[in-house]
Structure 1
Amino acid sequence: MEARIRESFARQGLMRNVAAEVASVAEGAVEIRAPITTQVSQQQGFAHAGLTFALGDSAAGYAALTLLPDGQEVVTAEMKINLLAPAIGTHLIARGRVVKPGRRLIVVVAEVFAVQDGAEKQVALMQGTMVPVGAQAGG
């Protein structure tokens, strides 16, 4: 399962471009980390909300994928985000988990934290729905 998640993640151009990495994989839960750099900041120097959303969406999606058999992928049907605080720090951590698995819909949540001086501060809370789909040729 972990190898499949990491292989799929490695094919994501956006995650590569923001230097994100899969930190941990467990059944129904995935953690992704990415550095906060000037390339992903907004005008006030915080991590851009787009990065926060992308990391949370990916962590939640991969958490859903851990529960599916080989030959299936997931796509996001909807995702809500509450931005709770400015994302100030050295890197972001997104922790996604499955709330309710299903054959057609998988309800997920993600929490995103900014890390500064070793301390985590929650910057976003997300909830969404993933839809299982067949794997696409060419990744």
Structure 2
Amino acid sequence: MTTPLEYAQGILESQPFSRLLGARLTEFGDGVAVLELDIRDDLRQQMGFVHGGVLSYAADNALTFAAGAAVGSGLVTAGLTIDYLRPATGRTLRARARVVRAGRARVVCRCDVEALSDAGEPTLCAVAQGTIATLPGAR
């Protein structure tokens, strides 16, 4: 029997862009999702920091998976805001999202994006909030 985390990991694996980035889902359930990816040179911008688009991707996907952990599948991001707080450097990028409110048609979620150092110490790099929409006929 497949666990909810294994089911969600299968969905992530079906996303070509997520595979390209090497993203992995490490937690999924009860309105929470954690997405991680290894920081590599090809994900950095010209000053050596992880590109903001990569942080935004991590937040976006974590937000949508958190919504899915609360209300099921058939969801898409309707809107997302992100504030970049510090440059992301280190070995791992981690996006931890949780549901704030789950309605019938929209789910509002928040996400913290951290960079983990080689020693595993987290640094908060970005915060995001997103609205996730239920697709017609889903649920």
Same fold (TM over 0.5): yes
Aligned residue in 1 for 2:121: 119
Superposed, which structure 2 residues align to 1:1-139 within 5 Å?
A: 1-69=4-72, 72-116=73-117, 117-133=119-135
Superposed displacement of residue 5, structure 1? 1.3
- Cα distance, 1:135–1:24 mapped onto 2, change above 3 Å: farther
Superposed displacement of residue 67, structure 1? 1.9
Q: Over aligned residues, Cα RMSD in angstroms?
A: 1.5
Per-residue deviation, residues 13-40 of structure 1 (Å, max 9, x unmatched): 1111111111111210000110111111
Give the gaps of 5 or more residues in structure 2.
Answer: none
Q: Could you tell me how far apart the structure 2 residues matched to 1:52 and 1:92 are?
A: 8
Give the gaps of 5 or more residues in structure 1.
Answer: none
How many residue pairs get matched?
A: 134
SS in 2 for 1:3: helix
Q: Could you tell me how far apart the structure 1 residues matched to 2:132 and 2:22 are?
A: 24
Percent of residue pairs identical: 29
Which amino acid in 2 is paired with 1:62? F
Q: Could you tell me how far apart the structure 2 residues matched to 1:135 and 1:7 are?
A: 22
Q: Which runs of 4+ in 1 moved over 3 A?
A: none
Could you state the TM-score of these two structures normalised by the residue count of structure 2? 0.91
